Amino acid sequence: MSAQNAHSEWDSPMYLEAVAQFDRVAEFMNLDENIADRLRVPQRATVVSFPFRHDDYATVETLFGYRVQHLTTMGPTKGGIRFDMDVDLGEVAALAMWMTWKCSIVGVPFGGAKGGVRVDPRSLSRAELQRVTRRFTMEIINVIGPQTDIPAPDLGTNEQVMAWLMDTYSQHVGHSVPAVVTGKPPSLGGSIARREATGRGVVSLIPPACAHLDMPVKGSKVAIHGFGNVGRYAAVAASEFGMKVVAVSDISGAVYDDDGLDIDDVAKWVDGNGLLEGYPSADHIEGSALFGVDCDILIPAAIQGVVTADNASDVKARLLVEGANNPTTLAADDLLRSRGVFIVPDILANAGGVTVSYFEWVQDVQAYFWSENEIVGRLREIMTRAFSDVLNIALTENVDMRTAALIKGIQRVTDAKLVRGIFP
């Protein structure tokens, strides 16, 4: 039976959107229907529930966790783990599929995966966060591993969470296995420059995109939604390129200064206070108002589904670079393109994270570590080459950048599936 017609356990608005994107492009590519049918659904999905004891020792809560591996054809699977209240099987399945295309676009030898726990990490003490991480790791221990599936940080998780994951896995197998996870602290075999990689990668595509649009880079006004791992380092990199970062936001709201924010100062405030709330040296606006500020470049770098049909007409930017996964709904995507906004899609724009994760895995497997210059140089080379490949497809096929990126991602995977054949 066709997977298209089958009832699928992971159905959710986000998964259906990922499949709708895929179907649009598969039709355009005239993709073999047998291959398309396999690529629409993940190869393996693990759902777990487990007890989580709160610090008071009296409350025990049942938490739900997920790990979805979309495609095992290309090598081990790879993808982040998020801790967020919106996490469910459908969200994780959609993100796993996007990871497959992302890895394929930048040419790293992984298939896509994603995982997560439905929990609010901000409500947890450090000890609670550690217990959730370690127990979740035990629950999925049989489906992860350095040659099978390699997690990384994502929304609501960080280097520390990855260190606990690595330690739990290593305790279980009886020796240290740094390559089981990427985005670890450098002291544990994490790669230098991994923390900044996604944000840096996002911003590395602005100069080639500006060149294509005949727009200046220096002095361009940038607004960034999100000031976590991706948004913060995108803001730092944009400032280093001479752009003016006029607005950044987090869950508490946004700060705005038309003359450009002092990003080091904003970052210092967030390190000391946790949130942008109360930052004294800029105006405060609603987080959602950030999408309408006067700027040339907009970088959504927080959560999914924030640029919608309702606010797309407020967007003033000419260039939208998607740092977050799936920040733009399909309807908003159509509206923005009809207004001439050039969109660099998530599966290309935020692929710097998985690229440096790949470098980290290679370094861990070989136990041989590279210099920061090598890492940053190779990241820039891979990102700009991927951008120019995707732009070439867009121009040759007369399609938008999202379609072009999907064509590139899907084609490589399809070729690999065809030559591997079907077992048995």
Task: Evaluate whether 53 touches 59 at the Cβ level (below 8 Å).
Answer: yes
Count CB neighbours of 85 within 10 A. 13
- Minimal distance in Å, beta carbon 101 to ligand NAD? 13
Tell which positions 350-369 bind ligand NAD, by CB under 6 A: 350, 353
Q: Catalytic residue at 316?
A: no
For tokens 């709904």, the residue is: 329
289 binds ligand NAD (CB under 6 A): no
- Minimal distance in Å, beta carbon 323 to ligand NAD? 6
Choice between 143 and 251, CB closer to ligand NAD: 251
Count CB neighbours of 181 within 10 A. 32
Element spanning 379, H or E = helix 372-397
DSSP code string of 27-38: HHHT--HHHHHH
Cα gap 371→89, rounded to integer Å: 38
Cα gap 8→123, rounded to integer Å: 32
Cα gap 17→11, rounded to integer Å: 10
- Of 412, 413, 414, 390, nearest to 403 (Cα)? 390
302 binds ligand NAD (CB under 6 A): yes
409 binds ligand NAD (CB under 6 A): no
Annotated catalytic residue within 114, 221, 408, 417: 114
- Minimal distance in Å, beta carbon 67 to ligand NAD? 15
Residue 183 φ then ψ, to 5°: 80, 25
Site string for ligand NAD, 241-280 (x = CB under 6 A): ---------xx-----------------------------
Tokens in use for 131? 């217990």
Which residues in 246-274 are b (16+ Cβ under 10 Å) and which e? bbbbbebbbbbbeebbebeebbebbeeee
Task: State whether residue 189 is helix, strand or coil.
Answer: coil
User: Where does this chain touch ligand NAD (CB under 6 A) — which range of 35-43, 59-67, 317-325, 367-375?
Assistant: 317-325
- Minimal distance in Å, beta carbon 324 to ligand NAD? 3
- Minimal distance in Å, beta carbon 12 to ligand NAD? 16
Choice between 150 and 301, CB closer to ligand NAD: 301
324 binds ligand NAD (CB under 6 A): yes
Position among 79, 178, 287, 409 found at the interface with ligand NAD (CB under 6 A): 287
* Strand ranges (E), 70-148: 77-83, 111-117
Cα gap 380→201, rounded to integer Å: 7
- Minimal distance in Å, beta carbon 92 to ligand NAD? 11
Task: Evaluate whether 54 touches 128 at the Cβ level (below 8 Å).
Answer: yes
Position among 111, 226, 345, 409 found at the interface with ligand NAD (CB under 6 A): 226
3-state percent breakdown (helix, strand, coil) of the chain, nearest 5: 50, 15, 35
Count CB neighbours of 47 within 10 A. 15
Burial class (CB in 10 A: 0-12, 13-18, 19+), 296: buried
CB-closest chain residue to ligand NAD: 228
User: Where does this chain touch ligand NAD (CB under 6 A) — which range of 31-39, 153-161, 358-366, 412-420?
Assistant: 153-161
108 binds ligand NAD (CB under 6 A): no
Position among 156, 178, 190, 292 found at the interface with ligand NAD (CB under 6 A): 156
- Minimal distance in Å, beta carbon 246 to ligand NAD? 17
β-strand pairing of 319-321 with 342-344: parallel
Position among 144, 163, 230, 282 found at the interface with ligand NAD (CB under 6 A): 230
323 binds ligand NAD (CB under 6 A): yes
Position among 77, 229, 239, 328 found at the interface with ligand NAD (CB under 6 A): 229
User: Where does this chain touch ligand NAD (CB under 6 A) — which range of 45-53, 296-304, 373-381, 413-421?
Assistant: 296-304
Task: Evaluate whether 256 touches 293 at the Cβ level (below 8 Å).
Answer: yes
Site string for ligand NAD, 13-32 (x = CB under 6 A): --------------------
203 binds ligand NAD (CB under 6 A): no
Choice between 302 and 404, CB closer to ligand NAD: 302
Enumerate binding residues for ligand NAD (CB under 6 A).
153-156, 198, 226-231, 250-251, 287, 301-303, 323-325, 350, 353
* Residues that are catalytic: 114
